[in-house]
Amino acid sequence: MSATNTVFIGKKPVMNYVLACLTLYQNGANEVTIKARGRSISTAVDTAEILRKRFSTDVQVKEIRIDTEQVKDSETGATSNVSSIEILLKK
Amino acid sequence: MSATNTVFIGKKPVMNYVLACLTLYQNGANEVTIKARGRSISTAVDTAEILRKRFSTDVQVKEIRIDTEQVKDSETGATSNVSSIEILLKK
């Protein structure tokens, strides 16, 4: 799977990310990975659920991985742990 | 798996839920399910990650399920969709 088939979830409205996934499928992708960290994790789940329940009923959750990433604060230099999620969706 | 081995994530500090999971394991549980809805989903992932990275390195993620639940507003009577997550941890 190429890196271009990944949608990173941030703080935008959830429909932006649903649209990003739909665009990837439209361009011929079979698998799309949704990635998020910290508070955006719930938006990642929202994106996957809206996509497969409302738009593409042929999209299925293939795998969900959770992990911990170390994030370094650019101002203080302190590192902190943040949870992350990867939701792999296939058509 | 009995229903008593489920930890529901709400708005309390994440360590409360980590402690709840540890207590279940202490009482002999082999599998613990963490459930959350909406904005609490990221706290559910935090709970699982803190538990297996910092406290019980023998705890593994067995399965993660995401779904959509219908929630009815008790005041307006309107139903809305909310995402949910279930993280199944085994020892």
Strands B6-8 and A60-72: unpaired
**How many domains does the structure of chain A reveal?**
1
Partner-chain residue, chosen from A38, A48, A84, that has the shortest CB–CB distance to B66: A48
CA atoms within 13 A on the CB side of A32: 27
DSSP lists the bridge partners of residue A60 as A90
DSSP lists the bridge partners of residue B32 as B89
Global confidence as pTM:
0.90
ipTM greater than 0.90: no
Q: Do A66 and B68 touch (CB under 8 A)?
A: no
Task: Transcribe B29-65 into DSSP letters.
Answer: -SEEEEEEEGGGHHHHHHHHHHIIIII-TT-EEEEEE
Asked if B31 and B63 count as a contact pair (C-beta separation under 8 A), the reply is no
What is the interface size between A and B, counted as CB pairs within 8 Å?
50
pLDDT of B3 higher than 70: no
Q: Do A40 and B42 touch (CB under 8 A)?
A: yes
CATH of the domain at A18: 3.30.110.20
Q: A40 by DSSP, 3-state: which?
A: helix
pLDDT of A4 higher than 80: no
- Note the pLDDT of residue B1: 45
User: Distances in Å between the alpha carbon of A62 and those of A13, A25, A31, A65?
Assistant: 24, 15, 9, 10
DSSP lists the bridge partners of residue A66 as A85
The mean pLDDT value for B7-30 works out to: 95
pLDDT band at B74; cut points 50, 70, 90: confident
A41-84 pLDDT per residue, tens: 999 999 999 999 999 889 999 999 999 999 888 888 899 999 99
pLDDT of A25 higher than 70: yes
What's the CA gap between A9 and A72, in Å, rounded? 19
Q: Which domain holds residue B30?
A: 3-90
Share of chain A above pLDDT 70, in %: 97
Partner-chain residue, chosen from A38, A64, A84, that has the shortest CB–CB distance to B64: A64
